[in-house]
């Protein structure tokens, strides 16, 4: 009787199918879906989940462990490897990628040796060898690191949790590398002012505007150095603003709209700051007075989306500032009114997500703008309706990050899958809330976060 089992050479020929299976495995890992093993530490409140078949295929250690009575248990306690290094090595089992740094390379090498991950151990060894040969400073990535070409071009998300009120002055800073796709805390930030807008430039977070202790708009501008963890003052804006939107293009800061005066009136004024001269310069006024808008810079164009108008009405109008000509022009209105929405460019289209509603019903709707045809179209909604979603594009992933309120302690993160035309939840942020997110070269973040320990009040992601 002929066997019904296909030959191995036939099973393994379809590379597209294999790629699809691996993509699904990565998604299952991100979603903690179909998991069958959980790793815990007796002295550290961390929980890491995975799939036995993936770990066994990647590591002889896991293959042997899972065949024992101890290893067949649904929960396994780890003794000789720290949770942070263990998590990176588990991710390596799924991706084959590892990006060691001087502060953790020795611990990663030790963990890779214990877990019999020869490839990961080789990456760590090559890193150490390159560092020794070139006598590099402790936190500098050596040029012959196996993934140095990736590191030079690699991007990360820098996510800063926004402060909510006067009692919420501390905010955690996280980063997510496009290679490892894991959220890592790299600092704790104490905001000097409330309700300031945040931008990023050259290892610095810059706050603009906000409110005073008397609840009045202020013109203050401050810069936070992520390496030294020190605040410094920059020249104040010409106009005191709160609820403004801001972007940085070619190191020039653009501060646009917002509420002004004691009556919190939306303004159409705008200004820019040139760090080379240390001067603020007024720009031509917008077509519409607006506050709580969203700004997106695309090449030499700055798009201003929605907001709250002079009569406190929600806006669906859109306008664009041409940096070269110094002129504003009106664009087609969005399909829905929005303020404080999330927005990012993905595959040549400008996606806009949700709105800033602080009371139910919360929004989940999404639309996108074709800049070539000046038209808006509906897109699939995110899975979880919420307010204050931040939207960023990391590599080929459009991500909806954070938002409130959240019924979970962890921050929601969803990724848009254009091939399936749907959104999918992935690994959450360690804490819930609204976030300001920036796409930053990974090499700029390698030296930050070394002075600050993780605050005890923030639970590691994965902990229930």
For the stretch 56-72, pLDDT in tens is 998 889 998 999 888 88
143 lies in the same domain as 162:
no
Query: What pLDDT band is residue 458 in, cutting at 50, 70 and 90?
Result: very low
Q: What is the mean pLDDT of the segment spanning 333-358?
A: 94
Neighbouring C-beta atoms of residue 227, cutoff 10 Å: 16
Kindly state the percentage of the chain with pLDDT values over 90: 45
Query: What pLDDT band is residue 428 in, cutting at 50, 70 and 90?
Result: confident
Do 284 and 317 touch, CB atoms closer than 8 A? no
Neighbouring C-beta atoms of residue 58, cutoff 10 Å: 21
Residue 268 falls within a domain, yes or no? no
CATH of residue 81: 3.30.710.10
Residue 224 falls within a domain, yes or no? yes
22 lies in the same domain as 100:
yes
131 lies in the same domain as 215:
no
Do 221 and 207 touch, CB atoms closer than 8 A? yes
Expressed as residue numbers, the domain containing 36 is 13-150
116, 150, 184 — which closes off a domain?
A: 150
CATH of residue 173: 2.120.10.80
168 lies in the same domain as 67:
no
Helices (H) and strands (E) in the chain, counts: 8, 29
418 lies in the same domain as 384:
yes
Residue 275 falls within a domain, yes or no? no
395 lies in the same domain as 409:
yes
Quickly tell me which residue has 């303004």 as its tokens.
267
34 lies in the same domain as 167:
no
Residue 71 falls within a domain, yes or no? yes
For the stretch 73-132, pLDDT in tens is 889 998 888 888 898 999 889 888 888 888 888 889 888 888 989 888 888 888 887 764
Do 293 and 286 touch, CB atoms closer than 8 A? no
225 lies in the same domain as 91:
no
Write out the DSSP string of 354-389.
Answer: -B--SSSSPP--EEEEETTTTEEEEEPPPSS--BS-
Do 413 and 126 touch, CB atoms closer than 8 A? no
Residue 367 falls within a domain, yes or no? yes
What pLDDT score does 230 carry? 87
150, 181, 210 — which closes off a domain?
A: 150
Q: How many domains, the chain?
A: 2
The whole-chain average pLDDT of the chain stands at 83
164 lies in the same domain as 141:
no
pTM for the predicted model, two decimal places: 0.70
What pLDDT score does 457 carry? 30
Residue 140 falls within a domain, yes or no? yes
202 lies in the same domain as 76:
no
24 lies in the same domain as 163:
no
Q: How far apart are CA 222 and CA 215, in angstroms?
A: 18
Q: Which stretch of DSSP H or E encloses residue 264?
A: none
Quickly tell me which residue has 């590691």 as its tokens.
460
Residue 185 falls within a domain, yes or no? yes
142 lies in the same domain as 59:
yes
Does residue 52 surpass a pLDDT of 60?
yes
Residue 67 falls within a domain, yes or no? yes
What pLDDT score does 342 carry? 96
The listed range with the strongest mean pLDDT (223-227, 244-248, 403-407, 409-413) is 244-248
């Amino acid at each position: 009787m002929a066997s019904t089992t296909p030959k191995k050479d036939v099973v393994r020929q379809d590379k597209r199918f294999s790629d699809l299976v691996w993509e699904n495995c990565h998604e299952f890992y991100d979603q903690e879906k179909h998991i069958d093993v959980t790793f815990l530490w007796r002295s550290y409140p961390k929980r890491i989940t995975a799939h036995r078949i993936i770990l066994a295929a990647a590591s002889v250690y896991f293959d042997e462990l899972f065949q024992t009575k101890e290893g067949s248990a649904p929960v396994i306690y780890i003794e000789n490897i720290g949770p942070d290094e263990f998590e990176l090595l588990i991710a390596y089992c799924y991706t084959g990628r590892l990006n060691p740094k001087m502060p953790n390379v020795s611990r990663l090498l030790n963990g890779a040796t214990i877990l019999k991950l020869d490839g990961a151990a080789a990456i760590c060894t090559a890193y150490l060898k390159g560092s020794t040969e070139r006598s590099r400073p402790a936190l500098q990535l050596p040029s012959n690191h196996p993934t140095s070409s990736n590191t030079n071009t690699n991007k990360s998300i820098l996510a800063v949790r926004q402060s909510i009120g006067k009692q919420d002055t501390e905010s955690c800073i996280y980063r997510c590398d496009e290679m490892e796709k894991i959220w890592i805390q790299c600092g704790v930030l104490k905001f000097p002012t409330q309700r300031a807008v945040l931008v990023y430039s050259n290892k610095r977070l810059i706050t603009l505007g906000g409110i005073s202790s008397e609840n009045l708009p202020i013109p203050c501008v401050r810069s936070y150095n992520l390496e030294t963890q020190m605040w410094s003052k920059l020249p104040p804006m010409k106009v005191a603003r709160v609820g403004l939107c801001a972007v940085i293009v070619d190191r020039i800061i653009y501060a646009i709209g917002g509420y002004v005066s004691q009556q919190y009136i939306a303004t159409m004024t705008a200004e820019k700051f040139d760090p080379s001269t240390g001067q603020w310069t007024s720009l031509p006024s917008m077509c519409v007075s607006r506050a709580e808008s969203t700004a997106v810079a695309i090449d030499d164009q700055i798009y201003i989306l929605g907001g709250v108008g002079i009569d406190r009405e929600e806006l669906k109008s859109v306008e664009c500032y041409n940096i070269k000509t110094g002129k504003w022009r009106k664009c087609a209105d969005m399909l829905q009114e929005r303020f404080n929405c999330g927005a990012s460019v993905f595959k040549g289209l400008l996606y806009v997500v949700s709105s800033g509603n602080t009371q139910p019903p919360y929004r989940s709707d999404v639309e996108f703008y074709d800049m070539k045809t000046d038209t808006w179209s509906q897109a699939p909604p995110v899975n979880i309706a919420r307010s204050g979603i931040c939207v960023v594009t990391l590599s080929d992933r459009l991500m909806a990050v954070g938002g409130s309120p959240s019924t979970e302690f962890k921050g929601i993160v969803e990724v848009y899958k254009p091939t399936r035309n749907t959104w999918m939840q992935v690994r959450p942020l360690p804490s819930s809330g609204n976030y300001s997110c920036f796409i930053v070269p990974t090499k700029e973040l390698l030296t930050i976060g070394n002075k600050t320990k993780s605050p005890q009040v923030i639970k590691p992601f994965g902990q229930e």
